[in-house]
Amino acid sequence: MVILDRAGEVEITDAADFDLVKTFECGQCFRWDADTSDAQVGGCTAIAYAGVAHGRAARLRSAGGSVFISCTMEEFESVWRPYFDLDRDYADIRRRLNIDDFMRGAVEFGRGIRILRQDKWEALCSFIVSQNNNIPRIKKIVAALCRHFGDELEFGGGIYHKFPSAERLASLEADELSPLRCGYRAEYVIGAARAVDSGALDLDALSRMDPADARSALTRLRGVGDKVASCAMLYGLHMLDSFPLDVWMKRAVAERLGPAFDPAVFHPYAGVAQQYIFHYMRSGAAARE
């Protein structure tokens, strides 16, 4: 990849390992929406998304083999370069994970997915909301959470909202989340917010811990089991060896990976393998192979 400073945008050239649709639609994040307001750019069909991360809004478009981000070079370096994990060689990761016919299919189908470095609190809170939910409904609840309790952010002539801080949510009672229609998860969100706000759960410290200790600390929260903890570790703490097991992954293990499967075979990138497999299974592509 080569990074170029364009007028009002930063261009990432040769972005074969950065697919916007796959990265934003593979189930790892919930605050990016397709933007069709400018489908044609320079005669090329463009794919675009707008969203908010780390308190900043941006619009990304993909055209002509490049990805363009609406930001200054300074903001790119401080926010978006780490967020999109752009200094990691995903081509090398794909080669490491290409261990059998099933993984060859999953890796090729998922090529372009990057594991985002999401805000630690946002990832934990979002995946608490995700329990027993489908992705469209998760996105709807997270959007409502931000709209009701997040600070406003002007961008591109519109109003966006930051993700509400743990401190903000810790001051609420569970019934104040009723407009979100998140049901029993409201108590879990408030409980987690209070643990983070009080310092009882230090997410920055967790990111430096041994993964087993981090998992133990997360699962002490009411409403956080192994799956939610694994997602918080992978997408928030950026522990790339974390291997969340949801219904799609359990199906993959049962039908494709076998009873003796151990995620350690993918070390140290089991989480990236999980994302390729999840995307492959959920899309139905694996069934067509």
d(CA 141, CA 160): 15
Residue 26 burial (10 A CB sphere; 0-12, 13-18, 19+): buried
Q: What pLDDT, in 10s, does the model give residues 214-264?
A: 999 999 999 999 999 999 999 999 999 999 999 999 999 999 998 899 999
**Whether 275 contacts 26, CB under 8 Å:** yes
Bridge-based pairing state of the strands 47-53 and 44-45: unpaired
pLDDT at 42: 47
CATH topology for the 120-236 domain: Endonuclease III; domain 1 (1.10.340)
Query: In the chain, pLDDT over 90 holds for what percent of residues?
Result: 91
d(CA 231, CA 88): 20
Which stretches of the chain are assigned E, i.e. beta strand? 2-6, 9-13, 32-34, 40-41, 44-45, 47-53, 56-63, 66-69, 152-155, 158-161
Give me the residue spans of the domains in the chain: 2-87, 120-236
Is the pTM value of this prediction over 0.85?
A: yes
Q: What pLDDT, in 10s, does the model give residues 116-174?
A: 999 999 999 999 999 999 999 999 999 999 999 999 999 999 999 999 999 999 999 99
Catalytic residues: 227
Please give the CATH architecture assigned to the domain spanning 2-87. Answer: 2-Layer Sandwich (3.30)
